[in-house]
Amino acid sequence: MRTTTIAMASAVAGATACATPPKALVYRGPASCDGCPEAVAELLESSPLKFQVSFAGPTEAIDINEQTLKGVQVYAHPGGGDDLNESWPGLKNYTKPLRDFVSSGGYYLGFCFGAYLAGDSPGFGLLPRGSNTDAETAQKNAQVTSSKDTVIEVDWTFVSGKTEKKRWMYFQEGAVITGLDENKLLDEGSGRVLARYSQNGDVAASVTRYGKGWVGLVGPHPEANDEWYSAENFTNPDGINFDIGYDFVVAALNGGKIEQS
């Protein structure tokens, strides 16, 4: 039904050699923003693993349930609703199918709003005990404090082990992951902090274990393309690159392991 962590990690290492690309469901519906599901799908399809992507949701040909999740390795939830509490009634029925999917060996990728949803206030409850998600804009010494679309700086540690500091990323009132014990994650092999917001050190991206599966979360938008920047009439000082987005996907699928050569 689902590829194991070891098999998926091997697939990451030799992605181009895969005869059959892995499959992913990407949520598209009332709790997603215009262009967000499509941007996530494009990131997955163009990533080293060359995912085969289908959209799922209440207004799509297929919805998210036990049956539709059976044939995929990844469920990805894109950016979306402005108000988590308002959107939650239309999403809460996905909680059990998604928990079962991930705990049995699947992978959850949450981008911005999808990262918020991995918490439990409200949300799918996919994070380690004591961890949650919150708005980075409300945190102490946050670089961005408004809800306006902009860019934000992050320190990103790639799967190679290299950390690039103050990389600019598209930011849309993104999430922060709170309460993670980074040392415990590393000691137990149960995940890793992938990135921190440069100004205050808050966790901007993470990979954590849930049962036999993994949960990858990113507060900013590594999938943002030129259409996003053009629509909001601002630029990324680093240019528009997808290296962080691809690394996020690979890191989630290998359980956050550092693969130094």
Domains of the chain: 5-253 (3.40.50.880)
- Is the pLDDT at 12 greater than 60? The verdict is no
- pLDDT band at 5, cuts 50/70/90? very low
Instruction: Scan for tokens 């082990």, then name that residue.
Output: 161
- Is the pLDDT at 7 greater than 50? The verdict is no
pLDDT value at position 11? 41
By the 8 A CB rule, do 39 and 225 touch? yes
CB neighbours of residue 60 within 10 Å: 17
pLDDT value at position 9? 44
Question: Lowest mean pLDDT: which of 10-24, 182-196, 231-245?
Answer: 10-24
- Is the pLDDT at 212 greater than 90? The verdict is yes
Whether the pTM exceeds 0.95: the reply is no
CB neighbours of residue 179 within 10 Å: 14
Burial class (CB in 10 A: 0-12, 13-18, 19+), 178: middle
